[in-house]
Chain A
């Protein structure tokens, strides 16, 4: 599927541009973090890439996709997990059956991923009574069970306590290690540092920088990035 190319991607509502002509090429391999202040358009950009929103101008091109249903090869985890009113296992199975797997296959695969994320004991519990952290882990399991080439994550730990956030970060790394491309948004610099290999810095709907992580923090090329880093880290 990858590389993913964004070509003059634009998205506006009632004439107001939220994403304003973003062009970039995202390659397979590195964990990509989309960073930026609140309101910069990170979530909208994710949704454009994943196909949940249609751009008002410009294109989203999956160069590596030949005769492949691009939608089936990607998955997304949202800031607030949305669980169906059924058991944890059933939630994971739901996605698998949508992808055409049999009941038997789905249940086996679902149990496997639940074990990896540490939820095998909650498999039969109603997903909606699980804690926030558990639900987010479940969301990750559900997305990963589908075996996507690309996993989008939209501020997955923004609503979680540090311990749960830590769990999520570990799972993200596990998923990355298994070969899935990670594209994640965050406004948390510490998290970006821990999880990122490269940064796309967005401000006011425009792409300011697309750089490897170390260079970004040492020598931010744009004024906005510098200000952002300064604002977030008090000792800079």
Chain B
């Protein structure tokens, strides 16, 4: 009998061993840190450019888990990350104040832009004043797609509505649409429905599904998006890889790290502007 019961069992054992072994070797490497960051940062492509330089220099693998800012900080609070790299100053400072982070360091900033349909129903294209633009959008009832997902980007968007004296909740169900999702899917929706939308420049530059959308407002100081990096507090979570994690924090704010950040371009556009304080 060609395929006996014994053959089958032997085959299954071999397969199991093969699968287990190959995973085992990848896992044996303990020389890595887990960094909690945001989807927009990862999707900008920064990490693919930045991390290999650090990994080559130190031999430490950097594993980035990309979530929304709220989720990232939450994950770090649970102790599932060694380092946090997000862009929500208020939330970050609270994180340190609550004892979950050791210290907050400013790293870089990028900016947000307002995109919208070429037809520009609110007549704001070319403006450098975001609060004014927001007032005009609300007045015109022009359709606007928001992330609505409590991310850093969403938080920034809401702050600007507040500055403009507009409560976007009044437009809910009408011109103001919350997708409850990340930057990419929100832009997909905006592109499909020709909405205005508030996005970080990085995601926009790599976004390929633009449809009729173009940048309508940029350059306002209020649109600058500050990034911070923090080591998760080993006092709260003793298993945190504090030496390797600290090495990463130190490198990112070092001149070499800062230059590497500045060197990242999409096409000819620099995305991130290093501003770590000495």
Contact = CB atoms under 8 A, between A and B. Distances in A.
Interface of A: 86-87, 90
A204 to B, nearest CB: 48
Nearest to B5: A86
Contacts of A90: 1
Interface residues of B, number: 1
Contacts of B1: 86-87, 90
A131 B133 CA distance: 86
Contacts of A87: 1
A86 B1 CA distance: 9
A55 B1 CA distance: 42
B2 to A, nearest CB: 11
Mostly, the B contact residues are: loop
Nearest to A87: B1
Interface in B1-48: 1
A86 B2 CA distance: 11
B239 to A, nearest CB: 53
B228 to A, nearest CB: 66
A16 B24 CA distance: 64
A87 B1 CA distance: 9
Closest A-B pairs by Cβ, 3 of them: A87-B1, A90-B1, A86-B1
A90 B1 CA distance: 10
A122 to B, nearest CB: 15
Contacts of A86: 1
B250 to A, nearest CB: 67
3 contacts: A86-B1, A87-B1, A90-B1
Nearest to A90: B1
A90 B5 CA distance: 12
A52 to B, nearest CB: 27
Nearest to A124: B1
A90 B4 CA distance: 11
B86 to A, nearest CB: 60
B5 to A, nearest CB: 10
Interface string B55-93: 000000000000000000000000000000000000000
A226 to B, nearest CB: 55
B166 to A, nearest CB: 73
A86 B5 CA distance: 11
A34 to B, nearest CB: 39
B224 to A, nearest CB: 72
